[in-house]
Copies of this chain bind each other. A is one copy, B any other.
Amino acid sequence: MSGRGTRSDRAVATQQSILAAAEQLFAEHGVANVSNRQIGLAAGQGNNTAVSYHFGSRSGLIRAIVRAHTEQIESIRLRMVEQAEGSTATRDWVACMVEPFALHLADLGVPSWFARFSAQVMSDPSHREAVARESLNSPSLTRAVEEVHRCLPDLPEEIRLERQDMTRQLMIHMIAEREDALANGRPTSRGSWHRAAAGLTDAVTGLWSAPVSTGASDMVPEGAVTGGP
């Protein structure tokens, strides 16, 4: 609806200050605890209709925030996928799934808000779906997932989907937690986003490599089945 690229600079500038203000307020106070008025005000707009004027609806605003970041994340992932080309190591492709998000935050600097925003939106029933579509339709991500499957051909389809979900949840919420620590001056476990991403990749790789236990003992685990490590 609103002029995408071809309108005045003023409108574009306003839209971006609204995006920035919304992202920050959402991350710090919770998506549902921030009104459109507050966002417009924080963006320096005198009008209480600024958000609805520029983004139509609240979910339009949220989708716009996601889109603004998704492009850059996608470009990072594309580069990583190219570098991983030909590899048969699970870890390389897991890294392609998980690390671009973290490295994007490294680019953003401190403080950032996008990870906390994402974590909230993903667990809010009213917005999760809209954003999931926006964010998961990534060609490079699909590619990385396929390659991970190729590295682990014995995994049943059911388990694959399950562990894909786990990967997504872990990525989003762990990164959000670290962002929160950074933004609030709490000590962080790893020295940099790059190292944090490595830790995440380690763990997720282990997650994918875990043996699938047979459902033999259907009682409460007295002596749980297959060995772990």
Contact = CB atoms under 8 A, between A and B. Distances in A.
B166 A221 contact: no
Contacts of A229: 16, 90, 151-152, 205, 209
A195 interface: yes
Q: Is the interface of A mostly helix, strand, loop or mixed?
A: helix
B194 A213 contact: no
Contacts of A221: 76, 79-80, 83-84, 92, 95, 99, 103
B209 A228 contact: yes
Contacts of A201: 213, 224
Interface string A166-192: 100110011011001000000001100
A87 interface: yes
A32 interface: yes
Interface string A96-116: 000100011011110000001
Interface of A: 16, 27-33, 72, 75-76, 79-80, 83-84, 87, 89-92, 94-95, 99, 103-104, 106-109, 116, 119-120, 122-126, 151-152, 158-159, 161-163, 165-166, 169-170, 173-174, 176-177, 180, 189-190, 194-195, 198-199, 201-213, 215, 218-229
27 contacts: A32-B32, A72-B225, A75-B225, A76-B224, A80-B221, A91-B224, A91-B228, A103-B220, A103-B221, A109-B227, A120-B124, A122-B123, A125-B180, A158-B190, A161-B189, A162-B203, A165-B174, A166-B174, A169-B169, A169-B170, A169-B177, A173-B173, A201-B213, A206-B206, A206-B210, A207-B207, A209-B210
